[in-house]
């Protein structure tokens, strides 16, 4: 199936986890993809994993305005335009809220929320010129459901959902569709590094509500059952294609029934 034949796509956070899986799936569906990430090593891994031609990679820091402006211009030049933007880049730094520093709070919002704004702002002229532009933002189940130790992360993802709704209304008459994905219980770079971001004294009983009801194949370092990132990549491919042509201004939760 090549639902995305010749679609011009930029994916942020393409160097690992869901961003990498999404990049590979879009390539399989016929898209020409620019993959960006702050990690050059991660992008090299994605290039090696790509079995199909059509992938170009750039390092880009989504939290840096100059980096975004420069790399987005280069990407649009290489692709000859832009049809789809996938904002998959993100970080999770967690702590007890009463111990959360302003530096940590600002860093999480800078990458997750401001980064989504910066990349989208830079891409909008080309997406609107396309006439069939699509923006897929990455929110999280933490935006709508309680997740312990993640106040900054949850706030950033809630902001992404609100941003998504505003964009969808503002640009809908110009043919732009904007949707946010809300993954939960999905294997990613963030879940793989869970042991490094949890507080030193976590109450693991608080994570009991974060388990999916469907069977899964993976477990994180804290023992939560999770699905593979491919579960999200397939949904992104649908949204980017004409199969998603009547979906905009909403969230799609992908969590195996965790929050049923």
* 153 part of the active site: yes
Contact 64, 105 (CB under 8 A): no
DSSP string for 126-144: HHHHHSS-EEEEE--GGGT
Which residues, in sequence order, are CB contacts of 178 under 8 Å at separation 6+? 134, 135, 137, 164, 167, 168, 171, 248, 249
- The Cα–Cα gap between 9 and 6 comes to 9
What tens digit of pLDDT does each residue of 152-162 get? 999 999 999 99
pLDDT at 195 (0 to 100): 58
In the block, residue with structure tokens 């111990």: 99
pLDDT at 80 (0 to 100): 98
- Residue 241 is given by DSSP the state S
- The Cα–Cα gap between 146 and 241 comes to 32
Which residues, in sequence order, are CB contacts of 38 under 8 Å at separation 6+? 15, 59, 60, 61, 62, 89
Q: Which of 162, 41, 140 minimizes the C-alpha distance to 94?
A: 140
Q: Which domains does the chain have, with CATH numbers?
A: 8-253 (3.40.50.720)
Mean pLDDT by 10 residues, the chain (260 residues): 93 97 97 98 97 94 98 98 98 94 97 98 98 98 91 97 98 98 84 66 78 77 74 97 98 92
Name the strand (E) or helix (H) holding 9: strand 8-12
pLDDT at 202 (0 to 100): 82
- The Cα–Cα gap between 130 and 146 comes to 38
Catalytic residue among 153, 163, 171, 207: 153
Reduced to 3 states (helix: H, G, I; strand: E, B; else coil), residue 183 is strand
pTM of the complete model: 0.93
pLDDT at 187 (0 to 100): 82
pLDDT at 45 (0 to 100): 97
């Amino acid at each position: 199936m090549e639902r995305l034949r010749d679609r011009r796509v930029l994916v942020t956070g393409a160097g690992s986890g869901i961003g990498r899986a999404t990049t590979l799936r879009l390539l399989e569906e016929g898209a020409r993809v620019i993959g960006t990430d702050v990690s050059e090593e991660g992008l090299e891994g994605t290039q090696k994993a790509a079995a199909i031609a059509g992938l170009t990679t750039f390092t880009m820091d989504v939290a840096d305005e100059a980096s975004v402006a420069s790399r987005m211009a280069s990407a649009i030049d290489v692709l000859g335009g832009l049809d789809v933007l996938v904002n998959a880049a993100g970080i999770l730094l967690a702590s007890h809220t009463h111990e959360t520093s302003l530096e940590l709070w600002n860093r999480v919002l800078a990458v997750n929320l401001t980064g989504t704004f910066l990349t989208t702002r830079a891409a909008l002229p080309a997406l609107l010129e396309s006439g069939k532009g699509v923006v897929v933002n990455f929110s999280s189940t933490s935006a709508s459901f309680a997740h312990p130790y993640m106040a900054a992360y949850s706030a950033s993802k809630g902001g992404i959902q609100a941003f998504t709704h505003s964009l969808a209304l503002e640009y809908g008459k110009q043919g732009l569709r904007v949707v946010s994905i809300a993954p939960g219980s999905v294997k990613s770079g963030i879940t793989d590094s869970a042991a490094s971001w949890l507080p030193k004294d976590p109450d693991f009983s608080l994570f009991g509500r974060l388990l999916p009801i469907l069977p899964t194949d993976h477990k994180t370092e804290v023992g939560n059952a999770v699905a593979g990132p491919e579960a999200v990549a397939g949904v992104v491919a649908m949204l980017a294609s004409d199969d998603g042509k009547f979906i905009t201004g909403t969230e799609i939760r992908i969590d195996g029934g965790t929050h049923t």
